[in-house]
Structure formats: C-alpha cells, structure tokens
Structure 1
Amino acid sequence: MTADDSVDLAELYRTHHLQMVRLARLLVDDLASAEDVVQEAFLGMHRNRAALRDSGAAVGYLRRAVVNQSRSMLRRRRTVRAHLKVAEPEIAPPADSEVLLAEEHQQVLRAVDQLPPRQREVLVLRYWSDMSEAEIAAALGISKGTVKSQASRAMTALAQIMAEGGASDESAPR
C-alpha cells in the first residue's frame, strides 16, 4: 500500500464516529463506556493502518473493532464484579436520559438489555446498524446460520419479555 492509498482517519472519524458511539452504546451500558470503546477502536486503527490493505474496508474494520472492544469491556466488568464482594453503588442515570428517547424506545432497550450478549449483538447490528446477515457474520466472526438462529431466538425472547412487561427499570445489569 502506498502513502496515497492510506486511510484518511480524520475523515473516517468525522463521518462514522457518532454511528460507532451509538453502536457501542447499545452494546455496553453507558455513554462514557461507549465513547471509550470507540476511542480505543480508532486508536487501534491508527496503530494498524499500514496493515489495512483496502481503504474501503476501514468502516468494517472499525465496526468489528467496536464490537470486540465492547465484548472485552463487558468481560472485564463481569470478572471484576465476580471478584469483588463489595456492593456497587447505584448510579443514577443522567437527568436528560429520559428526554433522549421516547418511553417506548426505552422499554425496548431495557428488554434488549435482558437478552444474552450474542443475541443482543446480532439484533443491534441487524436493526440498529442495518447490516446484512453476511456483514454481521463477518463482524462477529460467526456463520450466517448462527446469525439467523440468534436473531430468531432474540426476537422470540424479546417478544416474550415485552409481553410479560419484563422490560422494567430493574433489568439485570450486564
């Protein structure tokens, strides 16, 4: 790859940063963590941009990095919580969080939060990021068949959670 073929990270940041933060926000449980995940993904891309053979693949690389960073963050949190016996203090959501989304959107998001991680990832990538099954499979490193089965199971579980009114504010933390 020549210097002319290099990825324009500044342009990539301007055009895709907000979209990647939204994606990460749906995968992790707060905006600050989502911003950290996206920042790490961009830093990783900066460190490895010489190895990126196709500048057209930069968005896919970035999306996969965001998904992987989100998974890593959730794994680290789960490990820390398993080893700490001290109760975590309850942190109130930001005052403007209720204004940002309509109540019905918040109910759906709370229901999505109750899904297993892989099902949540598939739904977020499919319906929020509007990715195809093949793109989701590539981003998550799984087969298209697994994407289909996880999406089907997730939709069934989501419908059940919503029907039972299980999308309450007391949903279990990830």
Structure 2
Amino acid sequence: MTTPIEVAVDQDAALAEIFGSQYGAMLRLAVLLGADDAEDIVAEAFYQLYRRWKKLREAGAAVAYLRSVVCNLTRMRLRHLQVVRRHATPDAGMLPGSSAETEALLQDDQRALVAALKELPARQREALVLRHWLGLREAEIAAAMGISCGAVKSHTSRGMAALTRVLEERR
C-alpha cells in the first residue's frame, strides 16, 4: 500500500516530466492561437492540471487535458481583450498578440503566415494550429475545441482556403 507522501512524490514527478516535455509545445500553441500573454496562459494551464490531477482518468490524459485548457484559456483571454479594446481608445502600436521579441525572431515568410493566421476567425485559427502545428487528428481537435468532427473539417477547410488566398496574393 502506498502512503500519501509516496503518491504526492509520484504526482510531482509525473507533473515535472510533463512540464519538461510539453511546456514548449503548449507555449507555441498559445502563441499561434493569438495569445499576447502566452507564458501566463501556459502557467495557468499547468496550475489547473496540478489542481485536477487526481480527477484525471489516467496520467496519459494529462497532455490532452493541458492542450484543452490552453485552448480554452486563450479563447477566454481573447474574448476579454476584445471587450476591453472595444471600450478603450484606439492606440497606435504593434499588432495585438505580438511582442517585439517574437516579431524579430520570425523570418519574412513566417511573419506573413502568422499575420495571415491572425486575420482568420478564432475557430479556424485554432483548428489549423491544432491540426498542422501539433499534428492532432480530427477527433483530438474536436475534443480540445469542444466541437464536432464535422465542424473541425469545416473550420480547417475554410481556414486553409483563406490562408491560400492571402499567401497567393503576397506572391
């Protein structure tokens, strides 16, 4: 029989391993979904995973849960920012969701692609990022976004068509 201390040590070790292997991927996911505070979102997602660890069906579900939390938190923050920006005075500056460091590191083609992604509706952007950057299957995307597989196909198709049009105009 395992003691509560041994269970806590196992949980902490599992969480540390997940953090080490998934932090970068979750950070990229939040950035590609348009978060301007991606580090905060990922930190909050790991905190929620820590709080709900014992409620997970199995340890293997942790990464899917984490991905879902990052998507949901990003979506909530973007909605909040839309409301704030709607009621704030216009401010001349950089595009929402970008920092000077992020923009400086991207190559020209990458900048064009990220700019085109930012112009897409949120659901299309989420579906494309989850599909093409994370390589998830339709069922996994549907679970992360909380929509049906058919809706995933629709958002992905429409998003790809819009990206194709924007990037062809650039050439």
TM category, shorter: 0.7 to 0.9
Residue 75 in 1 paired to residue 79 in 2? yes
Q: Please give the TM-score of this superposition, normalised by the length of structure 1.
A: 0.84
Structure 1 90/24 Cα, relative in aligned 2: closer, same or farther at 3 Å?
A: same
Q: Does 1:62 align with 2:66?
A: yes
Note the alpha carbon deviations across 1:96-153, whole angstroms, 9 max, x for none: 733x222111111111111000000000000011111111011101111111111111
Return the alpha-carbon distance in structure 2 between the equivalents of residues 112 and 28 of structure 1. 9
Match of residue 149 from structure 1 = 154
Q: Rate the CA distance shift 1:96–1:143 in 2: closer, same or farther, 3 A.
A: closer
Residue equivalent to 1:50:
54
Structure 1 segments, 4+ long, off by >3 Å, are 4-7
Give structure 1 stretches of 5+ with no counterpart.
167-174
Please tell me the residue identity of whatever aligns with 2:28. R
Q: Which has the higher helix share?
A: 2
Instruction: Give the secondary structure class of the aligned counterpart of 1:162.
Output: helix
Aligned CA RMSD, in angstroms, stands at 2.1
Instruction: Tell me the distance in 2 between the aligned counterparts of 1:133 and 1:42.
Output: 24
How many residues are paired up? 161
- State the distance in 1 between where 2:31 and 2:102 align: 16
- Counterpart position of 1:138: 143
Normalised TM-score (structure 2): 0.86
- Alignment-derived partner of residue 16 in structure 1: 22
> Which residues in structure 2 correspond to 1:25-36 (within 5 Å)?
25-30=31-36, 33-36=37-40
